[in-house]
Each structure stands twice: as C-alpha cells, then as structure tokens.
C-alpha cells in the first residue's frame, strides 16, 4: 500500500515569477467600486504611502508570503510591467528552473479583466495604455511544468483559453502521429505528456468579478493561498458571536506562537487546518489526482489545500474560485465544522493569553475531542478511517494526513475498528 503512494518522480517548484499590475490610484475602466470597499493588498493599505513605495511594500510582502511555503525557490518580480518585462521575467525563470516547475503569480487588480480571447493586461512604458498579453505567448515563454495563480476578475476566461490551447496541441500532436504512424517506432505514445503539467488556480469564474466586501482584503484569493490561518480567523471572527465579546480582527492577528510549533495556538491551528484540508481533498478527489496535487510538489500541495479555504470564503462572498484540473465543490464539506470548532476553542482563550503572559494555552484540537469516544471512528482493512459527522459517516481520513491515525478493535462490534487521532505512541 505504501509503495503505491510513493511517487517515483517528484517535481519541485524552484522558480517563482511575481507580476503585480496595480497602478495604485487609478481604477480600471471596467470596475465600479463600492464605498466602503476592500482595500488591502498583501495586508498593506495601498493608500497608506506614496504609490511607488506602497507598490514596493506590497511586492515584498507577497514574496515573503510565498517564501513561507517554499523558502528555497528563486523569486523574481516585476511591478506594473510591460509585455517585454514579462517576457524577460518568464524566460529567466524557465532557465533557472530547467526541468522543474515554475510558478507564475498574476495580480490584475489595476487593469481591466481578461478578454474572451485569453488575454491579460499589462502596461506600456509610459503607463498611458493597457496592453494585452496573450496567454498563449505567456505559456510559450514559461514552458512546462508550470502553475499559474491568477488573482483577477474573470480568471475563468484564462482557464478556458488554456484548456483550448491544450486541446488544440493534443489534437495537432495526434494528427501528426497519425500521419507518420507507419514509421513512428516506439517513441510515439499519444498526446504530449508535458501538456499535462500545466496547473491553474483562478480567483473567480469567467463571468464573475472579485468581491469588494470591506471585511475582506482586496486580494482575498492571494491571502487565502499564502496566509490561510490569518484570513480564516479574520473571516471566522466576522461571522462569530464572539466578536461581541471583545474578539477583534487585530487580536486574531496577534495570535501567539509559531506555525511550526504545535504546542502553541498558531502551531496547533496550522496543524489542524492542514489535516482537515488534506482530509477533505482525500474524500472528494480521485486517487490519481490527489496524488498529483497533494503528494508530489510541496508548494503545489500547500496552495491546493489553501485553495479549498479560498473556495469556502469566496463562495460566501458571491464568487467561485476555479482551477485546472477542476476540483469538485468542497465549501460545504462537513469537515469544515471541525475547523470552526477548533478555531473557536482556540480563539476563546486569546483574550486571556494576550493579557496574561503567564497563562498557559490549553490544546483544543477537534481531533482530540473526537478521540474521547471510539464510536466516532471506524476503519477498513486498508487503514482508511471514516468519522461520524452529524448523523452519518461523513468523511474518510487517510493515515497520510500528517496526524497519526491509530486503530484497534472495539469490543462487541465485530468487524468495526475504533480509530483515534493522537501523538505517535500515545493514547488519549
């Protein structure tokens, strides 16, 4: 069983291209902003400083947010670029990455939405015109394997164009092989494999506009992908009755601890969030797709886990994030209830922890809560556990989720195994 889950060849994202088209102070012609509206970009208010300084600050924050997930990658950035700037950036990143994956992040909040022909927008050298950039050109510069993160309105138009590009090249390749079938030899094996190594994450569908809810950052999609715990807690706080008891967004931003230390509030929440999103993905995805997206490239796995959060938050705000390969809807998965409970049980301790440095944090893991009764869990012979949510067996939790699933026979229930989440070697 273990050998089936081990990838023979793993890709790494070794080069990251960050492109921000914000044009601070000038709204795109196809956007009518409400008042008040979302303003924060990478947790920076663009109006808090001169446009050039604010843009530079936002760019540095975006790079730092990505470095949290992939510190060893080489990062290159262009702020309010021209077509030639983007071309040089992409070609440089591909040279650095060689045969590894390149990530292309595009923030198009200061330019018009993409066109139906699959074009995004950049600027001319004097910033007096918007210049279209075809996704086909972009892909030819970036090559494969690659992953695109598109934080702009109507991002689904670009995904449609990429899908058409892949279909066209596959058909061309198949026609070419049919023409030389007689002398093809052993090298012919169907459509080009490299076309399968294009991944896209988009902020919203082809006919949708980014949310302007002032309770969310303007780049809520990027925030979900790169700072998931912060945006998840802020969103939870805005919807929870706890906000009437002194719990503020500023307080949630100061949650103590490190994400890598599970003994701290921030570390525990990060651990629980990872386990829950992994479990949701395991439940809804075909096994080959789960392997490709969640068990091959560490950065891609992190982005897709966080993409599930983006779908939950942005669907509630009236738009639906999209992806290629397409994922089924997960925003109503019952395991989100476990996250809400874990967040609440952690945040309820936050006022005390902030005011009293001697106060100790009490772990509040939902998994530990479930482990108090063996009847919540059952396992099959392959080691896959089902958990009881509401009034049915609502999800399946693989042992590969980062938390340890331990199972043993329960008395009086033939064929049923009781499963518990806990530390290695310890039972609660």
Percent residues over pLDDT 70 in the chain: 74
| Contact between 108 and 148 (Cβ < 8 Å) | no
Above 90 in pLDDT, residue 9? Answer: no
Which of the four pLDDT bands, split at 50, 70 and 90, describes residue 222?
A: very high
Written as six digits, the tokens of 255 are 């949650």
By three-state DSSP, how is residue 306 classified?
helix
Where would I find the beta strands (DSSP E) of 125-242?
130-134, 146-151, 198-202
Positive or negative, the CA dihedral 28, 31, 34, 38 is negative
Would you state the pLDDT for residue 407?
Answer: 39
Closest alpha carbon to 90 in 175, 148, 49, 34 = 148
- What pLDDT digit, counting tens, does each position of 226-236 carry? 999 999 999 98
Closest alpha carbon to 269 in 242, 317, 299, 261 = 261
Would you state the pLDDT for residue 142?
Answer: 94
Which of the four pLDDT bands, split at 50, 70 and 90, describes residue 349?
A: confident
- What pLDDT digit, counting tens, does each position of 234-282 carry? 998 888 766 656 677 777 787 877 887 887 888 889 999 999 999 999 9
| Contact between 100 and 108 (Cβ < 8 Å) | no
| Contact between 323 and 202 (Cβ < 8 Å) | yes
Which of the four pLDDT bands, split at 50, 70 and 90, describes residue 298?
A: very high
For residue 91, count CB atoms less than 10 angstroms from its CB and return exposed for 0-12, middle for 13-18, buried for 19 or more: middle
3-state SS, 356-373, equals: CCCCCCCCCCHHHHHCCC
Please state, rounded to an integer, the average pLDDT across all residues of the chain.
80
> Residue ranges of the domains in the chain?
13-170+195-334
Backbone angles phi, psi at 50, to 5 degrees: -60, 145
Would you state the pLDDT for residue 244?
Answer: 59
Percent residues over pLDDT 90 in the chain: 56
* Rg for the chain, CA atoms, rounded: 23
- What pLDDT digit, counting tens, does each position of 391-427 carry? 344 444 443 333 333 334 333 333 333 444 333 333 2
Written as six digits, the tokens of 415 are 């064929």
Annotate 296-315 with b (16+ C-beta within 10 A) or e (fewer): ebbbbbbbbbbbbbbbbbbe
Would you state the pLDDT for residue 259?
Answer: 81
The structure's pTM equals: 0.81
Q: Identify the weakest region by mean pLDDT among 67-76, 185-194, 310-319.
A: 185-194
Distance, in Å, from the CA atom of 203 to the CA atom of 206, rounded to the nearest integer, reads 10
Above 60 in pLDDT, residue 387? Answer: no
Would you state the pLDDT for residue 264?
Answer: 82
Mean pLDDT in residue range 139-149: 94
| Contact between 333 and 283 (Cβ < 8 Å) | yes
Would you state the pLDDT for residue 6?
Answer: 55
Above 70 in pLDDT, residue 32? Answer: yes
Where would I find the beta strands (DSSP E) of 191-283?
198-202
Q: Identify the weakest region by mean pLDDT among 74-78, 244-248, 283-287.
A: 244-248
Written as six digits, the tokens of 49 are 């400083």
Would you state the pLDDT for residue 421?
Answer: 38
Mean pLDDT in residue range 202-206: 96
| Contact between 310 and 157 (Cβ < 8 Å) | no
Distance, in Å, from the CA atom of 288 to the CA atom of 157, rounded to the nearest integer, reads 26
Distance, in Å, from the CA atom of 54 to the CA atom of 33, rounded to the nearest integer, reads 20
Mean pLDDT in residue range 331-352: 86
Q: What is the largest CA-CA distance in the chain?
A: 79
Q: Which residues pair with 107 in a beta bridge?
A: 20, 151
Positive or negative, the CA dihedral 25, 31, 35, 36 is negative
Would you state the pLDDT for residue 243?
Answer: 64
DSSP letters, 361-425, are P----HHHHHTT-GGGEEE-TTS-EEEEETTEEEEEE-TTSSSEEEEEEPTT-TT-EEEEEESTT
């Amino acid at each position: 069983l273990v050998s089936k889950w081990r990838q023979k060849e793993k890709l790494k994202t070794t080069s990251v291209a960050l492109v921000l088209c914000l044009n601070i102070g000038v709204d795109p012609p196809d956007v009518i902003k409400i008042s008040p509206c979302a303003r924060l970009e990478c947790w920076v208010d663009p109006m808090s400083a001169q446009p050039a300084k604010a843009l530079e600050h936002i760019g540095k924050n975006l790079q730092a947010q990505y470095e949290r997930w992939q510190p060893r990658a080489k990062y290159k950035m262009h702020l309010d670029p021209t077509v030639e700037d983007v071309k040089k950036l992409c070609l440089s990143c591909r040279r650095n990455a060689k045969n590894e994956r390149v990530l292309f992040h595009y923030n198009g909040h200061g330019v018009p939405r993409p066109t139906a022909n699959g074009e995004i927008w950049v600027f001319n050298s004097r910033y007096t015109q918007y210049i279209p950039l075809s996704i086909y050109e972009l892909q030819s510069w970036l090559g494969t394997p690659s992953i695109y993160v598109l934080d702009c309105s109507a991002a689904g138009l670009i995904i449609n164009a990429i899908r058409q590009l892949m279909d066209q090249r596959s058909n061309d390749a198949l026609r070419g092989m049919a023409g030389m079938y007689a002398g093809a030899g052993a090298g012919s094996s169907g459509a080009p494999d490299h076309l399968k190594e294009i991944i896209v994450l988009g902020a919203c569908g082809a006919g949708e506009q980014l949310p302007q809810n002032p309770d969310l950052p303007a780049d809520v999609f990027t925030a979900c992908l790169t700072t998931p715990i912060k945006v998840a807690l802020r969103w939870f706080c805005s919807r929870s009755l706890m906000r009437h008891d002194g719990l503020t967004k500023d307080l949630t931003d100061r949650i103590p601890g490190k994400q890598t230390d599970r003994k701290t509030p921030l570390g525990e929440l990060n651990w629980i969030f990872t386990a829950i999103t992994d479990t949701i993905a395991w439940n809804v995805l075909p096994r080959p797709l789960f392997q490709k997206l969640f068990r091959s490239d560490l950065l891609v796995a992190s982005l897709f886990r966080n993409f599930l959060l983006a779908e939950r938050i942005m669907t509630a705000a009236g738009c639906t994030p999209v992806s290629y390969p397409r994922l089924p809807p997960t925003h109503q998965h019952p395991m989100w209830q476990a996250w809400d409970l874990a967040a609440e049980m952690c945040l309820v301790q936050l006022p005390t922890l902030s005011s009293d440095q001697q106060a100790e944090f009490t772990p509040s893991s939902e998994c530990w809560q479930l482990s108090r009764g063996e009847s919540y869990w059952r396992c099959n012979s392959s080691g896959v556990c089902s958990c009881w949510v509401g009034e049915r067996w609502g999800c399946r939790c693989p042992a590969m989720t980062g938390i340890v699933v331990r199972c043993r026979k329960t008395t009086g229930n033939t064929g049923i195994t009781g499963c518990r989440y806990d530390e290695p070697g310890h039972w609660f």
